[in-house]
Amino acid sequence: MIKKSVFILVLIGTLMVIAGIIYWIFGGIEVKLVGENEINVTYKSDYNDEGFKITKYDNEVSEKRYRYETKSNVDTNILGEYETVYYIKYFLKTYELKRIVHVVDNVEPEITTNIESIEKDYCTKKVLSKDLEYNAIDNYDGDVTDKVTKEENEEGVILTVTDNNGNVGTKNILYTYTEKPKDKFTLNGSSTMYVAKGSKFSDPGTTYKDGCGVKMDVKVSTSGSVDTSKNGDYKITYTANDLTVTRKVTVYTPSTNTGGSVSGKVIYLTFDDGPGSYTERVLNTLNKYGVKATFFVTHQFGSYVNLIKKEYEQGHSVAVHSYTHNWNIYKSVDAYVNDFNKMNADIEKYTGSKSKIFRFPGGSSNTVSKSYAKGVVKAIASRMTSEGYQYFDWDVDSGDAAGASRSKIYSNVVNGVKNCSKCIVLMHDIKSNTVNELDNILRELTSKGYKFGTLNVNSPTVHHKIAN
């Protein structure tokens, strides 16, 4: 009885050991795919399946201990559903694993542009950069540029395109702006003004604009004043938002000198702007008829300045017009006087003495000077006449400065002198039409018995109404 019990116990123990060994060999095994059982793969991409793994009691089994076979029909060049199947043999058992593969178009179309931002002017909001150009390419549909839509908002332009599989591509082209311009604080009228003594000074004031040119109502503080009862230079300073501008006001005594007078009808031929390349021809024509004229000279053509000597030696009057004949001589009285003195020095060099007569560039009635200094011509006239100089305008204009033809110049002069007793005729010895027609003009005038004269400081003057 005891022997039988022992046998049974031994048998049970043996069976349990065998069962444990069998469990150890075949139990705790897990065979599964790496990754998801169903996946999406991008069209035309490289597909490499993640495979599978075998674990035994959570420890990965070496590949040397199993065999497997793979079957796959995945073609990423064609959209569709495919399979990858693994057949795995491990310890007398075969496992089958299957992964479903969807080849899909999941790539957004790519939009490319010729510019990355659109530059605009800060003030006008006008586009300054190149026109926006774009194209769109999809990995499956190809060129989809014609499907691009464009939307504008405050920040820029949004380009959007959707391919046939619902993938949406976008690109934002942002607006950029030029730097904000600085505010501008400027004087109304001229920065330099000339006011006759005893007259009323009216301050033109100032204008304040933002950088985009829009007028702004800002507080302007002013310092300085003008006393028109006393000659002198005065300064007025204006300040607004830390910006400052200054105006110079000169009070002067106006001139009353109007020149002398002579009896009888006299024609005074005057030539401006030379000496130049035609001046010698003019001198020869004048000499032919025994006519003397007045030359208001400049230094515009340096190689001909020495002809001043010939003008003087032939008995003509030489007077100051301008050294530079540049309009900026009207920016101040001093600027004009400096230019005047340089030309008079030339005259003294070639004639032995300075001239006491002059003609304003553009005449005393010119308005161009207003762009440089308000009231400057009146102030110049006052100063120059107070120093013994006399200026001359004209009452017969040949029209050559405006480009008149030869026949028109002839008509303007010959008919013009009929309407004056002391005729000051304006011509230019640098104009070819004048030079070519001068012989005909002098033939006609001398045949009528007209007298000719040269201007000096005591000659009868023709003064236009000064406009500035």
> What CATH code is carried by the domain that includes residue 319?
3.20.20.370
Which residue carries 């479903």 as its tokens?
100
Q: What is the pLDDT of residues 317-342, one digit of tens each?
A: 999 999 999 999 999 999 999 999 99
Q: Do 367 and 245 share a domain, yes or no? A: no
Residue 134 DSSP SS3: strand
261 has a pLDDT exceeding 70: no
Q: What is the pLDDT of residues 179-211, one digit of tens each?
A: 999 999 999 988 888 888 898 999 999 999 999
Would residue 18 count as lying in a domain? no
Would residue 464 count as lying in a domain? no
Q: Output the pLDDT for position 109.
A: 95
102 catalytic per annotation: no
Read off the pLDDT band of 258 (50, 70, 90).
very low
Would residue 20 count as lying in a domain? no
Number of Cβ within 10 Å of residue 236's Cβ equals: 19
Number of Cβ within 10 Å of residue 13's Cβ equals: 10
Q: What is the pLDDT of residues 359-381, one digit of tens each?
A: 999 999 999 999 999 999 999 99
What the block records as the tokens of 457 is: 């400081």
Would residue 465 count as lying in a domain? no
First to last CA, the chain: 152
Q: Do 208 and 343 share a domain, yes or no? A: no
3-state helix, strand, coil in the chain (%, to 5): 25, 35, 40
Q: Do 236 and 346 share a domain, yes or no? A: no
Q: Do 164 and 100 share a domain, yes or no? A: no
Number of Cβ within 10 Å of residue 419's Cβ equals: 9
243-252 vs 294-298, strand pairing mode? unpaired
262 has a pLDDT exceeding 60: no
Question: How far lies 182's CA from each of 35, 179, 238, 245, in Å?
Answer: 63, 9, 18, 15
257 has a pLDDT exceeding 50: no
Q: What is the mean pLDDT of residues 105-120?
A: 95
Share of the chain above pLDDT 70, in %: 93
Q: What is the mean pLDDT of residues 18-25?
A: 58
The CATH number of whichever domain residue 114 belongs to comes to 2.60.40
CA distance 90 to 282: 124
Question: With contact defined as beta carbons under 8 Å apart, do 134 and 112 qualify?
Answer: yes
Q: Output the pLDDT for position 427.
A: 98
Share of the chain above pLDDT 90, in %: 82
Q: Do 239 and 327 share a domain, yes or no? A: no
- More confident site: 246 or 20: 246
419 has a pLDDT exceeding 70: yes
Q: Do 275 and 160 share a domain, yes or no? A: no
Question: With contact defined as beta carbons under 8 Å apart, do 117 and 176 qualify?
Answer: yes
Would residue 13 count as lying in a domain? no
Q: Do 89 and 136 share a domain, yes or no? A: no
Considering only CA atoms, which of 250, 256, 257, 258 is closest in space to residue 199?
Answer: 250
The CATH number of whichever domain residue 93 belongs to comes to 2.60.40.10
The DSSP call for residue 381 is H
Question: With contact defined as beta carbons under 8 Å apart, do 136 and 147 qualify?
Answer: yes
Lowest mean pLDDT among 9-23, 107-121, 134-148, 152-166: 9-23
What's the domain range around 130? 110-177
Number of Cβ within 10 Å of residue 169's Cβ equals: 20
∠12-14-17 over CA atoms, to 5°? 110
Q: What is the mean pLDDT of residues 256-273?
A: 73
428 catalytic per annotation: yes
Q: Do 409 and 290 share a domain, yes or no? A: yes
Amino acid at 40: N
Considering only CA atoms, which of 40, 37, 193, 173 is closest in space to residue 114?
Answer: 173
Q: Output the pLDDT for position 25.
A: 60
Q: Output the pLDDT for position 251.
A: 85
Q: Output the pLDDT for position 259.
A: 44
Q: Output the pLDDT for position 28.
A: 80
H helix or E strand, kind and range, residue 60 = strand 59-60
Number of Cβ within 10 Å of residue 59's Cβ equals: 9
CA distance 381 to 88: 117
Q: Output the pLDDT for position 16.
A: 67
Q: Do 305 and 360 share a domain, yes or no? A: yes
131 has a pLDDT exceeding 50: yes
Question: How far lies 221's CA from each of 188, 241, 417, in Å?
Answer: 15, 10, 56
Q: Do 95 and 143 share a domain, yes or no? A: no
What the block records as the tokens of 132 is: 């926006």
CA distance 262 to 431: 31
Q: Do 278 and 387 share a domain, yes or no? A: yes
Would residue 319 count as lying in a domain? yes
Q: Which of 152, 177, 202 is the last residue of a domain?
A: 177
Q: Output the pLDDT for position 141.
A: 93
Would residue 10 count as lying in a domain? no
Read off the pLDDT band of 42 (50, 70, 90).
very high
Q: Which of 119, 142, 177 is the last residue of a domain?
A: 177
Q: Which of 299, 316, 321, 428 is catalytic?
A: 428
Q: What is the mean pLDDT of residues 243-259?
A: 77
The DSSP call for residue 160 is E
Q: Which of 105, 138, 272, 397 is catalytic?
A: 272
Would residue 260 count as lying in a domain? no
The residues, ordered by sequence, that sit 6+ positions from 100 with a Cβ below 8 Å of its Cβ are 37, 38, 39, 81, 82, 83
Q: Which of 124, 145, 177 is the last residue of a domain?
A: 177
Length of the chain: 468
What is the count of structural domains for the chain? Answer: 4
H helix or E strand, kind and range, residue 186 = strand 184-187
133 has a pLDDT exceeding 50: yes
8 has a pLDDT exceeding 90: no
Q: What is the mean pLDDT of residues 23-34?
A: 78
Q: State residue 331 phi and psi, 5-degree precision.
A: -70, -20
Q: Output the pLDDT for position 260.
A: 46
Average pLDDT across the chain, whole number: 92
CA distance 195 to 233: 10
> CA dihedral in degrees (334, 337, 341, 343; nearest 10)?
120
278 has a pLDDT exceeding 70: yes
H helix or E strand, kind and range, residue 13 = helix 2-26
Q: Do 319 and 429 share a domain, yes or no? A: yes
174 beta partners:
117, 156
- Burial of 147 (C-beta count, 10 Å sphere; 0-12/13-18/19+): middle
Q: Output the pLDDT for position 410.
A: 97
